[in-house]
Amino acid sequence: MATWEDCSVCKELTGNDGNINYMKQAALLVLRLTAYGLLSGVVSGAICSLYLHLLNFAIGQVSGIPFYFLVLPLVFLFCTWTNKTLLTVKLPDGQGTDHVIHAYNNDAPPSSLVKGPAKALLSLLTIAAGGSAGKEGPASYLAVVVCTNLARAAKLDAASTKIILVCGLAAGFAAVFGAPIASMLFAIEIMIFWRPQINAAYPALLAALLAVFICRLTGLTYFHQTLSIAWFSPSLLPAVLTCAIFVGALACLYLLGMKGLNKLYTKIGGNDYIKALIAGFIVSLCGLLFGTEALGLGDAYFEEMIWLGISASIVVVLLKIALTSLTLNWGGVGGVITPMFFIGITAGSFFGGSIYGTWLAPTFGWETAPHAFFAAIGLVTTLSVCCKTPLAAIALACEMFGIYPVIYVSIAALLTCLASAKVGIFDSQLVFWKKKVIPHLLD
């Protein structure tokens, strides 16, 4: 019978000293990973805190100005000029999180210390002026750029640099959303679909926790509402499934809009500056015609929907999908996940109040649920469909809405992730997919 001593891998790990040598190596590994997580958390937390405070200040300054969004054509024009002239990137350039995933999967950590801060400032201009974009992409990219350059300066090897890259991504997301566990899971899930990078989980969690601590210390606050609901009630399953189907369809529409306008930008060719002016004019016109709810981050709108328990408007959801796709592909700079939150939460709120609560539940005698319940289902559905990170989606819902809806959001996240096949919003995300194990009609 084979024993521990017969294993060649064990011999290599333990050496001549047996378990003693192995324990020394394990202790050194833990210490090294702890150092990576702590240093990444401190650096990322400080940088992201500065960026978020500047963004909040800029939004506060312009929000009181009537028709502030009319400057969007000029903002898109400036962003396009900066990307083409100063940063010399090919348009459309994508956004920060996709760059981080590409850097990880291609063993090419970002080396330019200019592009990270430049992208952050351009996103600040875009969002403050009313462009529909997110803040997590620029924040995480900025954190990754600084952390990986510090790793390069310390002459760390490629494997260690990739772990620090994951730590920076987790810390950047945690600083923006205040959800350290979900941010850690997102960072290790997003690189390769179906194959999470477990080796970076521990330092990524440390970095995320420390980043949130620093941001809270500097005065940043995060959304949280405890949802009191039955731990598990089979009578609520119809609400979960129907809401997941409805929001999942809108999430697929968001994917189609992002990818479709990206391809259209390249296909039609022409002058990039003219296209930026056209996009800015369209977004400004929508602000004049439909109001400002779908402009900028939009977090105040969906938080109000949840706190007041009122139904959102489906027009605002569709506008957010269209304006985000146009902003991020035709001139503006920012992230794709904050708009994703907006779409999921508001679509879930609309479904719960205007479809399920007024029609489906009374017609079929199904159990009703509060608006926050449908908002949580919508949140996990969009994140699972678009990013293929169901575990992060489940953890995020629990950190935002409490532990009680965990079974319901788990069902919604896992089912919609599987049903939406392997198409995600990040082109650089690799896919570990075996059709013999999980066949799909959508492939």
pLDDT at 19: 61
pLDDT at 416: 95
Query: Rounded to a whole number, what is the distance in angstroms from the first to the last CA of the chain?
Result: 46
Query: Average pLDDT for residues 350-378, to the nearest whole number?
Result: 91
For residue range 127-169, list pLDDT tens digits in order: 999 999 999 999 999 999 999 999 999 999 999 999 999 999 9
pLDDT at 1 over 60: no
User: Per-residue confidence at 438, pLDDT binned at 50, 70, 90?
Assistant: very low
pLDDT at 107 over 90: no
- What is the b/e burial string over 306-319, where b = at least 16 CB atoms within 10 angstroms of the residue's CB? beeeebbbeebbbb
Query: Coil, strand, or helix at residue 134?
Result: strand
pLDDT at 310 over 90: no
Distance CA 349, CA 309 (A): 8
pTM for the model stands at 0.91
pLDDT at 18: 52
pLDDT at 20: 64
pLDDT at 434 over 60: no
Query: Coil, strand, or helix at residue 431?
Result: strand
pLDDT at 110: 76
User: Per-residue confidence at 417, pLDDT binned at 50, 70, 90?
Assistant: very high
* Of the candidate ranges 46-60, 195-209, 244-258, 423-437, the one whose mean pLDDT is the lowest: 423-437
pLDDT at 240 over 70: yes
pLDDT at 58 over 60: yes
Percent of the chain with pLDDT over 70: 92
Distance CA 51, CA 40 (A): 16
387 within 8 A of 424, measured Cβ to Cβ: yes
Question: Under CATH, which number does the domain 234-431 receive?
Answer: 1.10.3080.10
What is the rounded average pLDDT for all residues in the chain? 89
The residue extents of the domains of the chain are: 19-217, 234-431
User: Per-residue confidence at 2, pLDDT binned at 50, 70, 90?
Assistant: very low
**Do the first three CATH levels of 19-217 and 234-431 match, i.e. the same topology?**
yes
CATH number, domain 19-217, options 3.40.50.970, 3.90.110.10, 1.10.10.10, 1.10.3080.10: 1.10.3080.10
- What is the b/e burial string over 100-111, where b = at least 16 CB atoms within 10 angstroms of the residue's CB? bbbbbeeeebbe
User: Per-residue confidence at 174, pLDDT binned at 50, 70, 90?
Assistant: very high
Give me the DSSP letters along 257-320: HHHHHHHHHHHH-S-HHHHHHHHHHHHHHHHHHH-STTSS--HHHHHHHHHHT-PPPHHHHHHH
